[in-house]
Structure 1
Amino acid sequence: MATTDSVALLTLPSTTLERLHQSAVRDALGYFEPDLITIPGPRNPVAFAAVRDGAPNRPLVHPQLGHGGGAIHHYRYNHRGGVREAVDQNPPSETIDLIAIQRRDVLDRLETQLETGERRTGSQGATFLIVPQLTVEWDPTALSSTLPAAERLATISSILPEPVTVLAGGQPATYTHEWGLSHDGSTVRVPVAGLGATDRGESMIAQCTCTRHGSVGAEAVDADQFGLRALHGVGRTTADQLRKQGCQTTRDVGDLAINDLTELPGVGRTTAEKIHAHAAVIDSSEPLVLTNKTPVKTRDGRPPLCLDIETDGLSPTIIWQIGVYDPAADSHQAFIERTDPSDPAPVLEAFITWLLANHRDRTLLTWNGHRFDYRHLRQFLDRYHPEYVEPWDGLWTYDLYEWAVRDGNALLPGRTNKLDHVARALGYEPDETGLTGAQTAAAYQRFMRNPNDSASEPDWERHRAYCEDDCRALWHVYRAITEAPRRDMTDSGSGGADGRQAGLTDF
């Protein structure tokens, strides 16, 4: 749910809703718990009905319908009342405004309303403009892209004193780009983020964190990760067979005995056990540990240090932020290169000298670190500070993702195995910075191109908070896994009518 600084906007593209069973729609709505729901893409009354049925009391806008006789739908958030339709013309200055238009030609009317003061927004918050079918146009011959309605969007952005961000319905949910648009002889910076209703065959559901700073961070999940398809081993055919058995939800599947599952076409005993166990994990939002192996060993009895790095891309030229959370002291240490992005050595040296001087006997923990964090730290040390490679190699390093997912030691309740999804499913409440890993990399790339331009400088505190949040989320997941009971997946199949967790055996 929204904090005083952000709004959780769930985007359910109409083309995605067409392919989803109603139980999957309800599952997605329950998983995300948004403040406001929008349906980008083509006009679709049936899609609107599906969402309204699943969330009867949640603010919902499918502007293409023009429901209520309006072509402009205006919602407003403040910390006292949450998200409500905007009816007052003198809003508090700190509100977050979300304005959805029915189609692009309505931008002219909106521009007039904002210019004349007929429609007002909060000047000290941010305004998000939802354009349901806006798609960036790409010219493969000229290798150039064009933002439709750029002139109108630049004008609207220049009228309002607060940050204005465009939410483009026709762009992927992972799309984010700051456009430089011409207006009255100058350049207006207009951030554009995608809402996921593309014609590329994608089927994504995303929750966008819209902050009072105007930033947007999207948590995108494949639509197949909701409803019965969310279960390991359940494809479209098996899901249809389960519905014939009367199962509409993952809880219903957990109420079956494993012997009933093995009677489904193509489902063997091992698959049935995993389906059943995963249903219990999703329903309880608790991990299931399948081994006696410990995920982490420590030298001195203190908990592991949780580590996360930020780079300028997947093939980095610099590790520009290294964050370390110490659960024993409940403290976070950040090493950030703020001045010279052309030199990766100083921030790396600051980190490694601090670590070796103060915590050389501590265990390090990451999420997917063996394929990213540890690998790149080792490569950069070898290149820029080879004198520290040997002591680095002597540290105890563990990868919780590898232990739980790749090695198959645990089943997790996240709809994906990304850290933020797993942590959220385990009850972690994130610091809503409105950032993603891709956005932090893009922000630093802009800084690298223009290090002497203050306008290109990232919001250092917000990026530091994002990295710290990942470190704390990792600790939350680690605790949930280490405190979970150890069980195997077997089920005697004799648990009675409900069969729920029948015969799950503690080691």
Structure 2
Amino acid sequence: MASDPGVRLLTIRCDALADASTNAIADLIDYFDADLIYIIEEKLDMRTASTVERTASCPVIYTRRSAVCTETIDDITVSIVSSLDFVGGASSASGHGIPDGADYVICDEIQTSADSVTMDVSLDGLEHLARFQHRTDREATFLTGAMEASYDFVWKADVDDESVRLPVRGLAPTRRQGAPELACVSLDSDGRIGVSTTPADKFGLRALSGVGKGTAPKLAQNGYETRDDVAAATERELREIRGIGESKAQSIRQSAHALSEGSVIRLTNESVPAAEYSPLFIDIETDSLNPSIIWLIGVYDPEADEYVDFIDREPSQDNPGKATREFVTWLASEYDRTSLIAWNGHDFDFKHLRRFIRGYAPEYADYWSDSVFEYDLLDWAVRKDNAVLPGRTNRVEDVAEALGHGRDAAAAAFDGKSLAKTIQRLLRSPERARDVDWEAARAYCEADVRELAAVYEAIAEATPGQMRAGVPGDENTTQTGLMDF
């Protein structure tokens, strides 16, 4: 599906980078390769802002410097303002606001408030946003650094007896166990937004497995300032650094090679899952992590280079198993016995497919249990210590991109969480079907399974125990197994 290139917007809140070195910030800027960087006003630290500005080659915007700033990239207009008054208030009316043709408006004064008594939730600035939306020729999407990047909601308001939609998305780092995750969003010309998040501590030396805020300075003080420096070191040299023992030196060096070379490091001679068969790669789209509906199932057959999917374009709680029934009916008719490979499948895809088959296609339950073999590639590679992967995270899209298999603009304009929330809204209000671009959703699912197949192929082709040879002074430059590292 053809798509406009779109805009990659990286959002930074300075406290998320409080422990980041200059090299780590430079690595972050290079990794995201953004078209525009927005630094949130909250927690603004001018030292961090200055480092970002010196490093980045794209525009870097923060409202302390300019109350109103508008950037147009690939015919997509993004306006950043310090106050809601510049959106639909007095300042806007006096000609000092933002252009009516803005596709995206960023303002950190946009945030939700909850009444502690009634528990009703309201949107600060709703009237300002509604006035702006009402007077423009196209629907703008509103972004805010006051709420996490996981926030996604379409508000509605009435202006002059006319209802207007107000899509609002968060930009702030998302809270996870460990470091907050920085958000890089893909903005397209139709208001679609894909969100990619990466932990703030996965840059510079701290991207290496086993390297935290204590070990990173020690490596730098001993002359290992970059991951390439670490990859060029021997284990013996790394063990000479105080606090780094044999196991840690192995882990750090393996990780350095994987990231620096953009390659898979195989640790064992264990056969890759389903290597004796021609596997199918599968991904499901649902309404939540504990789904009440599976509305899209995508399958990729690498041998035929064929993608097929099963999509419910009219999802409802009355018929949540429609896509599942169509999928398993097709699978049974095409494959007497087959192997399915998923990413994190044991904890998600297979777990819920089995449940939906039992509930909505019980006649195929025996076929599924007897003739369909389930393999979880993430579990095999990472949890069972068979391989080291080159992604900053172990998400399949991050690993695939590190291996050189990035997705196109059509697929990048979506992410799984946003799609799930869109389906949640659709289930509550069927008239919201217009919120879903079904063809783009299919492109997103296809990208997932093709990326999964690319990661599988890279793992299968990696030589067990092999890292870049010829490092002077290493005990072994060509390893044959885990214990040789």
Asked whether the 8 Å contact 1:367–1:474 carries over to 2, the reply is yes
Correspondence for 2:119:
143
- 1:234 maps to 211
Tell me, yes or no, if the aligned pair for 1:14 and 1:197 is still in contact at 8 Å: no
* Contact 2:294/2:321 (8 A) holds in 1: no
Identify which of 420, 430, 446 aligns with 1:441. 420
Q: Which SS does the other structure have where 2:465 is aligned?
A: coil
Identical aligned pairs, as a percentage?
Answer: 35
Partner of 1:363: 339
State whether structure 2 residue 436 is matched by structure 1 residue 458: yes
The answer to whether the 8 A contact 1:311-1:321 is kept is yes
Of residues 78, 100, 110 in structure 1, which corresponds to 2:80? 100
Could you tell me how far 1:3 is from its partner in structure 2? 6.8
Residue of structure 2 in register with 1:86 after alignment: none
* Cα deviation, residue 464, structure 1: 1.6
Q: Which residue type is aligned with residue 334 of structure 2?
A: N
Tell me, yes or no, if the aligned pair for 2:264 and 2:458 is still in contact at 8 Å.
yes
The match for 1:430 among 397, 407, 410 is 407
Q: Which amino acid aligns with 2:415?
A: T
Q: How does 1:349-428 map onto structure 2 within 5 Å? A: 349-393=325-369, 394-428=371-405
How far apart are residue 298 of structure 1 and its match?
5.1
Distance 1:228 1:139, change over 3 A: farther
* Corresponding residue number in structure 2 for 1:503: 477
Counterpart of 2:77, as a letter, is D
Q: Structure 2 length normalisation: TM-score? A: 0.90
1:296 aligns with 2:292: no
Mapping of residues 217-232 of structure 1, within 5 Å: 217-232=194-209
Structure 1 counterpart of 2:442, one-letter code: R
Partner in structure 1 of residue 290 of structure 2: 315
Match of 2:38 in 1: 38
- Residue identity in the other structure for 1:294: S
Paired position in structure 1 for 2:103: 127
Q: Which residue in the other structure is 1:88 paired with?
A: none
Comparing 184-193 with 147-156, greater Cα deviation is found at 184-193
Report the counterpart of residue 457 of structure 2 in structure 1: 479
Q: What CA distance in whole angstroms lies between the structure 2 residues aligned with 1:343 and 1:397?
A: 26
Residue of structure 1 equivalent to 2:72: 76
Separation in 2, partners of 1:484, 1:260: 26
- Indicate conservation of the 8 Å contact 1:15/1:41, yes or no: no
Amino acid at match of 2:54: D
Task: Report the 3-state secondary structure (helix = DSSP H, G, I; strand = E; otherwise coil) of the residue aligned with 2:166.
Answer: strand
- What is the aligned length? 473
Q: Does 1:20 align with 2:1?
A: no
Give, in angstroms, the shift of residue 436 of structure 1: 1.5
CA distance in 2 between counterparts of 1:133 and 1:505 reads 56
Q: Secondary structure at the match of 1:171?
A: strand
TM-score normalised to structure 1 length = 0.86
Work out whether residues 174 and 220 of structure 1, in 8 Å CA contact, stay in contact via their aligned partners in 2: no
Asked if 1 retains the 8 angstrom alpha-carbon contact of 2:24 and 2:203, the reply is: yes
Tell me if structure 1 keeps the 8 A contact 2:40–2:108.
yes
Match runs of 1:195-214 below 5 Å: 195-196=171-172, 203-214=180-191
3-state secondary structure, aligned to 1:63? coil
CA contact (8 A) 1:170 1:197 kept: no
Q: What displacement does 1:267 show? A: 2.0
Residues 325-344 of structure 1 mapped to structure 2, 5 A cutoff: 325-341=300-316, 342-344=318-320
1:76-111 Cα shifts (integer Å, max 9, x gaps): 122xxxxxxxxxxxxxxxx21111113333333674
Select 1:160's aligned residue among 133, 136, 141.
136
1:33-69 residue CA offsets vs partner (Å, 9 max, x unmatched): 11111111334332221112222x2222123222xxx
1:271-324, CA deviations, whole angstroms, 9 ceiling, x for partnerless residues?
Answer: 11110110111111111111111222256x53x211011111111122111111
**1:4 and 1:292, CA in 2 relative to 1: closer, same or farther beyond 3 A?**
same
Aligned-pair CA distance for 1:163? 2.8
Contact kept, 8 Å, 1:238 with 1:264, in 2: the verdict is no
In structure 2, relative to structure 1, the CA distance for the partners of 1:140 and 1:263 (3 Å cut) is farther
Give the Cα–Cα distance (whole angstroms) in 1 for the partners of residues 223 and 113 of structure 2.
46
- The aligned residue for residue 84 of structure 1 is none
SS in 2 for 1:156: helix
Hey, what's the Cα distance between the residues in 1 that align with 2:61 and 2:451?
Answer: 32
Distance 1:164 1:359, change over 3 A: same
Structure 2 CA distance for aligned equivalents of residues 250 and 467 of structure 1: 33
Indicate the RMSD between aligned Cα atoms, in angstroms: 2.8
Query: Which residue of 112, 117, 124 maps to 2:93?
Result: 112
**Partner amino acid, structure 2, of 1:481:** I
SS of 1:291's partner is: coil
| 2:185–2:193 contact (8 Å) kept in structure 1 | yes
Aligned partner of 1:330: which letter?
A: D
1:504 and 1:138 mapped to 2: Cα distance?
61
Aligned 1:39-78 pairs, distance under 5 A: 39-42=39-42, 43-55=44-56, 57-66=57-66, 71-78=67-74
Distance 2:8 2:167 in 1: 18
CA change 1:439–1:141 in 2 (3 A) is: same
For 2:210, what is the secondary structure of its paired residue? coil
Quick one: distance in 2 between partners of 1:414 and 1:227? 13
Residues 491, 485 of structure 1: CA spacing in aligned structure 2 closer, same or farther, 3 A cutoff? Answer: closer
Answer whether contact 1:41 1:133 (CA < 8 A) is retained: no
8 Å contact from structure 2 (residues 68, 80) kept in 1: yes
Query: Displacement of 1:361 after TM fit?
Result: 3.3
Tell me, yes or no, if the aligned pair for 1:206 and 1:218 is still in contact at 8 Å.
yes
Structure 2 partner of 1:90: none
Give the drift of 1:120. 5.5
Structure 1 unaligned spans of 5+? 79-94
Distance, in Å, in 1 between the alignment partners of 2:180 and 2:121 is 24
Q: Report the more deviating stretch, 149-158 or 193-202.
A: 193-202
Give the distance between the partners of 1:280 and 1:28, measured in 2 at CA: 18
Question: Which range moved further: 175-184 or 440-449?
Answer: 175-184
Give secondary structure in 2 for the equivalent of 1:225. coil
Q: Which runs of 4+ in 1 moved over 6 A?
A: 113-116, 198-202, 488-492
Query: Which stretch shifts more, 344-353 or 413-422?
Result: 344-353
Instruction: State the distance in 1 between where 2:358 and 2:36 align.
Output: 49
Q: How much has 1:372 moved relative to structure 2? A: 0.8
Distance 2:321 2:3 in 1: 38
For 1:401 and 1:3, how far apart are their aligned partners in 2? 30
**1:203 and 1:322 mapped to 2: Cα distance?**
31
Letter in 1 for 2:68: I
Q: Is the 8 A contact 1:431 1:465 kept in 2?
A: no
